[in-house]
Structure 1
Amino acid sequence: MKNKLPPISFPFPLDSQKHPFDMNAKGRYFIYASGFSFLAENPEHLSLNGPCFHKIKEVIPMGYKTISVNERVAFIMDGEILKEEMEVPDQNETREIFKDRSDGYTIYSNTKIYFKKYDAFADKLSKNDNWGYWDTIWESKQDAVNHAITVSEQDRGLNLLLVCRVLDSMNWH
């Protein structure tokens, strides 16, 4: 399970084959919409109100889901931080692209996580065993990292967890 990569649902950006769960891959940004996109090095390529938005709409079919643009922050497994992404030296560019619409931090898993309350599986961790979008958002990076560490200690290294900063999100109907 440790090296298992979740499937790429959306082959975008077209010039990338880099997986969000590949710790060695260059690139920090990806889209999640009930499935993963490839990594992008330039956040503008994934902006939901930028010049590439029409390409995103072509690749990711609309449906009952939320689309989010994420920045990789930390990889966690077996109660330890395996890799923590360095802060972007100049985040002014990213802030300008996304106009400070960050919703906080979220945690993805390389394998499906079981939700007892719904007897179902999902790609994202939740604070309280719910599925709602806001139940999967932490306000601080440290809170998200701490939760991921706790969960990864309990699963004894079965899952690779990826903590991300949510740069933007929108309903995708």
Structure 2
Amino acid sequence: MESINGNSNQIDKTRESIKKLIEDYKIELETLSRMINIDYNWLKDYMDGKRNLNEFYSNAIDSIKNNKELVGNPKCPEPSSLSNKIYILSEGISSINEDERVKGIIDGLIIDFGIRYDTLAMYSGIVLEDVQNFMKDTNSITYENKYKLAVASLFLHFLVNGNKSALG
């Protein structure tokens, strides 16, 4: 049985979560490989029990020691990335309400790119006070303005993170 630092239970949970995504959310393995940026063949082999998560850790450790990009598989994520993404896709999305998701995206735009509330207000076509109020209390603005803010924030998020599909 495979183990990561003696924790084979985490491996079982990761495989179980992937199975849940396939069965409950109807996400095909090829789609999942694109979503989490892992080579499809590696992921298929992992699900078939031919590969294990130790490879992620070995590649990461080798890369750190040799001060270079991940060795072996260029689509091999950092060690905790696979489990975190799989967990969020299978459990976490439904546990975070929509308003909190939008707030998280806005926080990311502010922290990562220095985008300001007044910039978001202009892109959203709403007043600055509505953005500020939303960030304090998500129920303090109209649904129409929430929608405008959410769409503008999501578009900016995808645009600045290089997702070409955001452009239509």
Could you say whether these structures have the same fold, taking a TM-score greater than 0.5 normalized by the shorter chain as the test? Answer: no
Larger radius of gyration: 2
TM-score (norm: length of structure 2): 0.23
More helix by share: 2
